[in-house]
Structure 1
């Protein structure tokens, strides 16, 4: 993605020696072009002489190329400006960044010279003045294949008492050396955690992973993050994200929340990655997609509770049946015993009656 017109990053550095003297160093760093404002008397800008937003070249080892860079004083006061080149890197947040002014480059920043052979060019510009500065890139004979990223920086430093202000704006610089180009991104350290909610259909899954540019070509990516359940059926929403350009050797750790994931028991969170190149970047050839997945348990509490309720219902019903059967058997036994007892009493009564009256004997003794 082309760099925005200006991204300013303010830092405050307090070295130990300066701290004792009460000094504070304030650095303002930008990548792109710094627009002037009514209150910004020290505004500066820089960029190619045409409408390019980046400087991209394809050069063989030992080859060189000449180009121009335009520096402008867009403020209202005279400016002492330094023009130089340095190396680039990817920050942990995925931003394209350049080395600090005081740090010496070791890569493409050492390939650039100004006005013939100078590693830096110092200019004095009046308000509204601009200057076109020729520069040359010479690729070392032992340069390896792939992208070599950096930037051309316009720096204006001013000191006022205890404060040093360093204003920096820059343009991205890419030098591609042909050869064995490896356009490759990898996914590692993939893990996931399920977060349940009271509604069994509105949980979420946090998918964490690391993307590494293990090749030698600067690449971005389209990311697709989601989760599947049994038989590959999708569970929850699918999250789409754009991964900012990663420079060769850079790593980016991401954490993506997939919403609307139900408690299905088994989940297979996945990450699909399709590498991309910036609009103005050189084409590195075919780009292979990458996919990784993992397994996580989404405990179906609603189902467990339902099963427990059903089991409790049938257990209670079975116990009730056993209790009712036992009571019924006891009642049958009781009624049978009562019936036998009554029958025995009646039989005993009849027997007693027969013995007391005796057959063939009347009351007169006849």
Structure 2
């Protein structure tokens, strides 16, 4: 396959030219147009690497689309996969929560089902994106270590993150934001919310510290990449670094982001934060970290199409030094490097042809075609 008259988004520049794909790999590139009659004319659209998503809980929405509605597993997986590939995401780590047993038990009930379905659908060749598993460990729970350990030997586990969403710290320093989020999520009365807050504080005090150290030790022994979550202070970051973290997910302050960057942790922020112009929890805005030069990775988190939107929004933001090539790296080359996925993440000869063709209409990025290993999947 040859694509010509295309803007190739390379690691450090964007050039107009052509590209040849063969046997699932990028065979060659040129800064001139191809004269071959079978070449696809891209009409000046952008050819970009397929996006690499490290943290999305989007799959849960399809397994439980409404309260007490459990959707058939492979159908749920297919719908989730279609949304991701339609958003340009060709490699994804589906984040599965371990230790959070609220939501009427849905997360706990669906835990094995979701992991089994990710594995089964991959083996059956049903997925258009390539799916791995990211275990999200909610630390303030008695069974978190035991549950996490159950899954850590699976070859599909590519990352583990450690998080504590208890009130008064990290993501929820602002108690009003904490109450707003959880009262909305669980439909709690003021009295129920006060009891929930007290319970979560007690659970965090009892379990969080010990669980953090135990799971980090297991991941180091098994060579599983480890991510911190919602670090807010230099002390948080230094602990994360000492425990072997390679990624800092969603630091909540400039202090934490800058210290993470200094210590070599890749700083990941939410693409919805970029698109909306700020954090829904009232924490640091991602564009501020981009301006400071300490933003390394983007994640779509809860809204898959936000990843590509954020890439283009950052590239057009005059407050930072990012052009399209460098903003694209935040969702492609950098997450690939964080997980040592050396065969993808860039438009480069010899790498996998995980690619997407993107046009622009009314200042909106529009995905026209997507390929994974040279096969068209969208």
TM-score (norm 2): 0.20
TM-score (norm 1): 0.20
**Per residue, is there more strand in 1 or in 2?**
1
Larger Rg: 1
**Per residue, is there more helix in 1 or in 2?**
2
